[in-house]
Structure 1
Amino acid sequence: MTIYDHWLYRFLTGPLNNVAWLYILLPCVFAGGIYLTVGSGAVQFRRFGYAMKNTAGKLFRKQETAHGAITPLQAVTTALAATVGTGNIVGTSQAIAMGGYGAVFWLWMAALLGMVIKYSEVLLAVKYRERDARGDWVGGPMY
């Protein structure tokens, strides 16, 4: 790192990043999460049982799998390993180490608001996807 890079981060990029996250993006995420929670009728609470029954509940049911296929439990653990990764585990432990156990409350609040934001994002992506000339879906949550 050169002296120029250090100066640029210390006096320009770092303060701009702090202002953007602290005063603009964080309030927008919380306000958007609260708005979507009210607008959706608190779908992340209302449908929590349904979500658990159809995800975690199906993991442990005995099912016949074809040769070479993976079980639902193997699929979920692989997806979670790729999605969560070690960064989220280390980040959570770092938040607890620096802020105490009260940090867990704010992590849960952010997760609850993040659920409804992700739900709304996927709902809109599925609603507004289209078919191309070959009949394949274009757009959507996996596009």
Structure 2
Amino acid sequence: NLLAPSIAAFFDEERLIPILRVLSLQFLLTIFGTLPGVQLYRQLKFKSLSLIAFSTTIIGSILTLALAFAQFGVWALVLGNLVASVLNVIAINVIAPLNFLPKFSLSGIRNLLSFGGNVTLSRLLWFFYTQADTAIIGKLLGK
């Protein structure tokens, strides 16, 4: 959300700001699906996970096509993706609801933060490495 103006400035396209801000809502949605999703993985319910992913992808795709035919432009992609994410989180929570509230404790968190920080840094570097060509081409080709 905070980086949207900088990203839009990089591509010299101010219309990206609201699009990036709406798409950033997916990060908030992910929070609500993480623990139930992990429960399904721990219980080895891969069939449920794949059915959720498949059905939400199909619904999101159909919505995207309908919005595109209704002349929503780029917002068809944005809204279709966002609705698919919402449906994914809802379905995961229906199948594997949390029967507890997460407990947060500072004791022993140092090792987890260290490991998580290393994984996050590794994934960020990999993301930038794999997407650098797209960003460069997008910048060079322009709108």
Same fold (TM over 0.5): no
What TM-score do the two structures reach when normalised by structure 2? Answer: 0.30
What TM-score do the two structures reach when normalised by structure 1? Answer: 0.30
The structure with the greater share of residues assigned to helix is: 2
The structure with the largest alpha-carbon Rg is: 1
